[in-house]
Amino acid sequence: MKAYLSTAIVIFAFLFANMDNQEIIWLDANLRETSQSQAKYYKVGNKREGQVTYYYKNRNIFRKTTYVKGKIEGRFYEYYDTGELREVGVYENGLREGNWKVYYKSGKIKQKGKYSGGEKVGVWKTYYKNEN
């Protein structure tokens, strides 16, 4: 009986400790906390490390990224509110780095180019909607 009680206490403590991670954080257009009525996006939980997913109020994914020591790191994905991929690239130490692509809602490439240290470098190509 003591084993069951101990197990129940451990489970309860674990669930209670993780309840804060399940709250909805409402965010404005600059991803700053705001009220639900003023929000454009939200995220579930107040996670500041690891993979974080942001959502539009319509529940579609807005952005997927990973944080390491409070900075964006690794693959970055951003989506239109209808669910289509909008932008993809890589962050290193909180700055855009390497090849990036921006897409139209149709899925066709809108722009592509490179970043270095968070700045656009080299030639950026822009494709218009009516071009192949």
CA distance 114 to 98: 5
130 pLDDT above the threshold of 80: no
- The reply to whether 94 falls in a domain is yes
In a domain, 70, yes or no: yes
Which pLDDT tens digit goes with each residue over 59-85? 999 999 999 998 999 999 999 999 999
Range 91-103 average pLDDT: 97
Residue 7 lies in a domain: no
Average the pLDDT over 5-9 and give the result: 47
Q: What Rg, from alpha-carbon coordinates, does the chain have?
A: 20
Residue 110: pLDDT above 80?
yes
* pLDDT tens digits along 48-57: 789 999 999 9
Q: Dump pLDDT digits (tens) for 22-59.
A: 799 999 999 999 999 999 999 998 877 899 999 999 99
Domain count, the chain: 1
Which residue is it, tokens 């669930």?
15
Cα-based angle 114, 116, 118 (whole degrees, multiple of 5):
100
3-state helix, strand, coil split of the chain in percent (to 5) is 20, 50, 35
Q: Compute the distance between CA of residue 87 and CA of residue 103 in angstroms, rounded to an integer.
A: 6
Max CA pair span of the chain: 72
| Residue 62 belongs to some domain of the structure | yes
Q: What is the CATH number of the domain that holds 79?
A: 2.20.110.10
* CA nearest to 114, candidates 105, 106, 123: 123
Answer whether 0.85 is exceeded by the pTM. no
pLDDT of residue 8: 43
Domain range for 105 is: 47-126
Decide if 12 is inside a domain: no
